[in-house]
């Protein structure tokens, strides 16, 4: 009988660590800003503040980023003019991809610098070849991470994301690091396809409404300064620290 009681006691003690681990996991889950559901088409099933995070467009989509009709469809020249860049500013292009915006911005800040941030080595290789070919000296490539752009604190005047934010796996953590990287008075410029406009020929999960963007930026201490509505398909939202 004593041996049986001892065996039961040993079995009970052996499961105690697992019980503690489950309790810890539950607490971590409760603190997480993310929830999970069955993924919709093109989605990840991961939700942030009510929005499903979309799947990422890989490096094989670089050709679409460089399509000849992009200027006409999105009026990229107007978007860059909207940024009101100064020659000596330091700018970070997050999710720079093939560098479509990066190199156009670099020409506008000849005395400054553009940090081209991407997590895909293949995209960085594409931009590296362009830098060598065109001998560009004010673009610095940065291998970002899912939760951080790996930029120094108070290092940039402007951070830009063009049709990238909706794909971030960890939007809250990424944006918290971006806010730290902004200099006092710095601005975060967010371009996203307009959810409010059904005529914009883009998949739903690759669109964002102004209301949703404001909600998510408020969560990291940013407020909307203006939303310029002069682009064909996209919001041009400028956020600053509250």
Mark whether 23 and 52 lie in a shared domain: no
pLDDT given at position 31: 86
Strands 156-162 and 182-194: parallel
Mark whether 10 and 103 lie in a shared domain: no
Mark whether 20 and 73 lie in a shared domain: no
pLDDT given at position 30: 58
Mark whether 26 and 115 lie in a shared domain: no
Residuewise pLDDT in 10s, the chain (242 residues): 434 433 333 333 333 333 333 333 333 355 899 999 999 999 999 999 999 999 997 666 677 788 999 999 999 999 999 999 999 999 999 999 999 999 999 999 999 999 999 999 999 999 999 999 999 999 999 999 999 999 999 999 999 999 999 999 999 999 999 999 999 999 999 999 999 999 999 999 999 999 999 999 999 999 999 999 999 999 999 999 98
Mark whether 169 and 224 lie in a shared domain: yes
B/e letters for 48-75, b = 16+ CB within 10 Å, e = fewer, are: beebbbbebbebeebeebeeeeeeeebb
pLDDT given at position 192: 98
Say if 36 falls within a structural domain: no
pLDDT given at position 15: 31
Residue 192 CB neighbour total at 10 angstroms: 24
Task: Please tell me the pTM assigned to this model.
Answer: 0.86
Per-residue pLDDT tens over the stretch 119-169: 999 999 999 999 999 999 999 999 999 999 999 999 999 999 999 999 999
Q: CA-CA distance, 182 to 154, in Å (whole number)?
A: 5
- 123: domain CATH number? 3.40.50.150
User: In total, how many domains does the chain have?
Assistant: 2
Say if 230 falls within a structural domain: yes
Mark whether 89 and 198 lie in a shared domain: yes
Mark whether 27 and 54 lie in a shared domain: no
Mark whether 123 and 58 lie in a shared domain: yes
Mark whether 211 and 124 lie in a shared domain: yes
State the residue range of the domain holding 25.
2-31
Mark whether 16 and 109 lie in a shared domain: no
34 forms beta bridges with 48
Cα end-to-end span (Å), the chain: 69
Mark whether 91 and 209 lie in a shared domain: yes
Say if 132 falls within a structural domain: yes
Say if 43 falls within a structural domain: no
pLDDT given at position 59: 66
């Amino acid at each position: 009988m004593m041996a049986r009681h001892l065996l039961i006691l040993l079995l009970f003690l052996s499961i105690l660590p697992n019980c503690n681990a489950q309790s810890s996991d539950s607490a971590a889950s409760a603190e997480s800003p993310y929830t999970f559901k069955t993924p919709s088409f093109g989605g990840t099933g991961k939700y942030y503040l009510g929005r499903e995070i979309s799947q990422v467009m890989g490096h094989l989509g670089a050709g679409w980023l460089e399509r000849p009709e992009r200027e006409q469809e999105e009026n990229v020249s107007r978007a860059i003019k909207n940024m009101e860049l100064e020659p000596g500013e330091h700018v970070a292009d997050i999710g720079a991809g093939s560098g479509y915006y990066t190199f156009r911005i670099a020409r506008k800040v000849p005395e400054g610098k553009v940090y081209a941030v991407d997590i895909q080595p293949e995209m960085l290789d594409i931009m590296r070849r362009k830098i060598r070919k065109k001998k560009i000296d004010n673009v610095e490539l940065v291998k970002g991470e899912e939760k951080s752009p790996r930029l120094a604190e108070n290092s940039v005047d402007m951070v830009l994301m063009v049709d990238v934010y909706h794909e971030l796996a960890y939007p809250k953590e990424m944006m918290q690091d971006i806010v730290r990287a902004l200099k006092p008075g710095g601005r975060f410029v967010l371009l996203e396809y307009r959810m409010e406009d059904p005529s914009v020929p883009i998949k739903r999960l690759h669109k964002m409404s102004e209301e949703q963007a404001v909600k998510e930026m408020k969560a990291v201490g940013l407020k909307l300064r203006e939303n310029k509505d002069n682009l064909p398909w996209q919001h041009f939202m400028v956020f600053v620290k509250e």
